Amino acid sequence: MARREKGRAAVLLACGLACLVAQVVEAGQPDLGVVVEILNYAGLPGGTLERAESEAARVFGRAGVKLEWLEPEVATEGAGLQLAGSLQRAQVCYLKLLPDSMFGQLQLPTRVLGVARGAYIYVSVESALELSLAVGADLPVVLGHVMAHEIGHVLLGSNAHALGTVMTPQLGRRELQTAARGHLLFSQAQAKRMRERIQAQQAAETAVLVARK
C-alpha cells in the first residue's frame, strides 16, 4: 500500500511539473524573440555550434522566448538588425565566440566563461572546453548554457544571478549535471521579466513607427 501511494505521489508531482512548464511556454507570444548574431572568431566546428545553439534555444523556449540565430561572415557584423526588422523581433544581441588570445584582451577575472556588455556578448570557447573536460560535461551543453546565461543578462540586466537557474553565478559540476538533464532553466519570474521587456521594446518601436507616418 505504501509503495502504491509513493507511486501515485510521483505521478502527481510529474504532472504538476509538466503543467508548470506548459504555463511558462503558453505565457509567451509567438512573436516574442531575440535575434542573436554569432561571430565565430574561435573557429568552433559547425556541428558543435549548432548543438550549443539548440541547447540555448531550448532553455529560452521553455521561458516562452524564441531565439533566432544569424551566423554572418565577420565582415558583415550588424546584419542582425536587418533580420530583426524582417522578423519583427524586438531584441538584437551580438555574441562573439573568442579564442583565449582575444578573450584575454577583455581583462576579466580568471575562470570567467563569458560576459555581456550592453548588447554584446563575449564567450571564451577555450575556457568552456577546459570546464567540460574537468567535469566530464559535453562541450555543447556547457557552451549552450553559457550562451543562454549571457543572453539572459542582456534581457535581465547585470544583477540577474539566481541560484538554481540558468542565471546561476557559478557553473560547476552540479549545475552542468542538471543542465545535461535539461533542468537548468529560467525561473518563472525571470521568464516573465524577459517577455515583459521584449513586449515593452516592441511597443516603443511601434509607437515610433506610428509617429513617423
- Mean pLDDT in the chain? 83
Can you tell me the distance from the alpha carbon of 124 to that of 127, in angstroms, rounded to the nearest whole number?
5
* 98-139 per-position pLDDT tens digit: 999 999 999 998 889 999 999 999 999 999 999 999 999 999
Over residues 45-65, the mean pLDDT reads 97
Match 521568464 to its residue by C-alpha cell. 191
Name the residue among 66, 73, 89, 87 with its Cα closest to residue 38. 73
Query: Does position 156 have pLDDT exceeding 90, yes or no?
Result: yes
39: number of Cβ within 10 Å: 20
pLDDT in tens, 180-209: 999 999 999 999 999 999 988 888 877 877
User: Computed from CA positions of residues 144, 147, 152, 155, in that sequence, does the dihedral angle turn out positive or negative?
Assistant: negative
Report the predicted TM-score, pTM, of the whole model to 2 decimal places: 0.80
Quick one: cell of 10?
Answer: 510521483
Res. 5: pLDDT tops 60: no
CB neighbour class for 60 (10 Å; exposed up to 12, middle 13-18, buried from 19): buried
Domains of the chain, CATH where assigned: 32-212 (3.40.390.10)
In the predicted model, what is the mean pLDDT of residues 146-167? 97
Contact yes or no for 196/33 (Cβ under 8 A):
no
Partners of 34 in the β-ladder: 67, 91
pLDDT in tens, 17-51: 333 343 344 444 546 899 999 999 999 999 999 99
pLDDT bracket for residue 77 (50, 70, 90)? low
List residues bridging with 114 in a β-sheet: 123
For 82-104, write each residue's pLDDT tens digit. Answer: 544 444 556 889 999 999 999 99
- In this structure, how many other beta carbons lie within 10 angstroms of the beta carbon of residue 119? 13
Considering the chain, what percentage of its residues have pLDDT values greater than 70?
Answer: 77
Query: Who contacts 120 (Cβ-Cβ below 8 Å, separation ≥6)?
Result: 93, 94, 96
The answer to whether 157 and 194 have CB atoms below 8 angstroms apart is: no
Q: pLDDT category, 78, cuts 50, 70, 90?
A: low
Strands (E), the chain: 33-40, 66-70, 91-98, 114-117, 120-124
Q: What is the pLDDT of residues 13-22, one digit of tens each?
A: 333 333 334 3
Residue 9: pLDDT over 90: no
